Amino acid sequence: MSTAAAAYALPAPDGAFEKVTIERRELGPHDVLIDVKYAGICHSDIHTARDEWGGTRYPCVPGHEIAGLVAAVGSAVTRHKVGDRVGVGCMVDSCGKCAPCLADEEQYCQAGATMTYNSTVDPAVQPGGYTMGGYSTQVVVTENFVVSIPEGIGLDVAAPLLCAGVTLFSPLRHWQAGPGKRVAIIGMGGLGHVGVKIAAAMGAEVTVLSHSLSKQEDGKRFGANHYYATGDRQTFRELRGRFDLILNTVSADLPLDDYMKLLNLDGTLVILGLPENPMTVKPFTLAGYRRSLAGSMIGGIAQTQEMLDFCAQHGIGAEIELISADEIDSAYDRVVASDVRYRFVIDTATM
């Protein structure tokens, strides 16, 4: 039997969220039915819901930072049992056969991973023919895309780790952040603030590059060693050639070339923020110091579990503002205005 779930959907790009009832598929042998307790609001939800990337289908139910409890399992499920604390991030399936999938990098699946919302699927997978995300009381996900949330982290502060956490953890691991490495994080919002905590826990020397100094005290509390305002041109003169690794989490256009110049010899700047417009870098900036420009997309399922275990071990959770479902529209406006400390999380009990 399928499950009727309450959800909050946007009916059109310029509409307001409204309460709807959606259908979740009947459990297949490998499916897990999750009672969603908390859903984080990622800036990607906003880019999608407001159709800033194009291709959004409506009604749109966003949400890919999902934390909850297992309510039922299919007959062949072995990884999870009823009552378990679990999470779902940005993906709910992938081909499982291509080289990236076999390397536990499902986010780079050559067939295209099935994303948690707005991905085309068989109507048997999600009635309606496209996926609907975590702004909902229930979700059904195949067991391999459901991770365990360790006891040490509250479900509410764990939810944002499912996207923001792994999106920062993955490049920090890939470019080997740790003792002796100078890491800068541009933008201290939802992604950036967990990045500061994780990079500091890995032992790197962490610098925040924020547009003002207004969040400096928080940045230091999260573990940053240094904090600079990018609204001050002196910052770019002082920090030239300083960093081994720079992670850009900014959701808006940036003068990228200015930031590339802050890299040391062989340093890498990784694009994580996804505004829709192109950005430019001068060839001389790259060649001059053998600098690299790279990008990174979330992280695989195994690495998502590794990140949650790491966060539990280091006492890391997101800093959140818990909201009710009828506050999603105003929360979106506040995220766009950079007025969030540091992630909005929807309490689904209010649905």
109 lies in the binding site for Zn ion (CB under 5 A) = yes
- The least CB distance from residue 208 to ligand NAP, in Å, is 7
What does 101 interact with, of Zn ion, ligand NAP, none (CB < 5 to 8 A by kind)? Zn ion
Residues in contact with ligand NAP, counted by CB under 6 A, come to a total of 28
What does 116 interact with, of ligand NAP, Zn ion, none (CB < 5 to 8 A by kind)? none
Q: In degrees rounded to 5, what are phi and psi of residue 19?
A: -75, 130
What span, in angstroms and rounded, lies between the C-alpha atoms of 97 and 85?
A: 28
* CB-based contact 85:148 (threshold 8 Å): yes
* CB-based contact 174:196 (threshold 8 Å): no
Q: Toward ligand NAP, which CB reaches closer, 202 or 250?
A: 250
297 lies in the binding site for Zn ion (CB under 5 A) = no
Q: Toward Zn ion, which CB reaches closer, 94 or 137?
A: 94
Residue 347's H or E segment, with its range, is strand 343-347
Residues in contact with Zn ion, counted by CB under 5 A, come to a total of 8
Q: Toward Zn ion, which CB reaches closer, 137 or 251?
A: 251
What amino acid occupies position 234? Q
Residues near 33 by beta carbon (within 8 Å), at least 6 away in sequence = 3, 24, 27, 70, 71, 72, 73, 138, 139, 140
Residues 31-70 close enough to bind ligand NAP by CB under 6 A: 42-44, 47
DSSP state of 214: T
297 lies in the binding site for ligand NAP (CB under 6 A) = yes
Query: Among residues 147, 151, 143, 159, which one has the least CA distance to residue 72?
Result: 143
- The least CB distance from residue 163 to Zn ion, in Å, is 3
Tokens of 321: 């503002």
What does 89 interact with, of ligand NAP, Zn ion, none (CB < 5 to 8 A by kind)? none
* CB-based contact 49:329 (threshold 8 Å): no
Among 94, 107, 119, 138, binds Zn ion (CB under 5 A): 94
116 lies in the binding site for ligand NAP (CB under 6 A) = no
What does 98 interact with, of ligand NAP, Zn ion, none (CB < 5 to 8 A by kind)? Zn ion
Stretch that binds ligand NAP, among 13-21, 91-99, 148-156, 334-342 (CB under 6 A): 334-342
Residues 137-176 close enough to bind ligand NAP by CB under 6 A: 163, 167
Strands 18-24 and 3-9: antiparallel
Q: Toward ligand NAP, which CB reaches closer, 138 or 342?
A: 342
Query: Among residues 3, 50, 4, 130, which one has the least CA distance to residue 328?
Result: 50
What does 71 interact with, of ligand NAP, Zn ion, none (CB < 5 to 8 A by kind)? none
Residues 195-224 close enough to bind ligand NAP by CB under 6 A: 210-211
Query: What is the SS3 assignment for 49?
Result: helix
Among 95, 229, 279, 297, binds Zn ion (CB under 5 A): 95
* CB-based contact 307:299 (threshold 8 Å): yes
CA 182 to chain centre: 23
DSSP state of 325: G
The contact mask relative to ligand NAP for 72-91 (x = CB under 6 A, - = no) is --------------------
Q: Toward Zn ion, which CB reaches closer, 9 or 301?
A: 301
Give Cα separations from 78 to 36, 75, 225, 303 (angstroms): 20, 9, 43, 20
List of residues contacting ligand NAP (CB under 6 A): 42-44, 47, 163, 167, 187-192, 210-211, 249-252, 272-275, 296-298, 335, 338, 340
